Amino acid sequence: MNVFYRLAAAFAVLIAPTAAYAQDPAGSGPINNALAWMQNTLLGSVATAVAVMAVAAVGFMMLTGRMNWRFGATVILGCFIIFGAASIVAGIQGAAG
């Protein structure tokens, strides 16, 4: 009789409703909101203004004959990575699967 109660209790635990974890729909969590805010900030007017100033600095250095090629290449590469991040990730995801 004792075994029957144990089996009944185990069965009741298995079929009892439990809390569902990690069931938030996509884009509804605070982490997703924070990351979306960061993406909009980095790809918005702030990033554009910084990129324009950096490219202008490289151009001014070229104009005055004091071009640091490593700095120039870093600026151009950084602009491509920042503003092309969505395309880069889409390409990687497309290649992966």
Tell me which residue of 95, 57, 97, 96 sits closest to 76, measured CA to CA. 57
The two structure tokens encoding residue 76: 């151009």
Q: What pLDDT does 90 receive?
A: 86
pLDDT value of position 55: 92
Q: What is the pLDDT of residues 46-87, one digit of tens each?
A: 888 888 999 999 999 989 988 888 988 999 998 888 888 888
Q: Which pTM was predicted?
A: 0.55
For residue 90, what is the enclosing H or E element?
A: helix 85-96
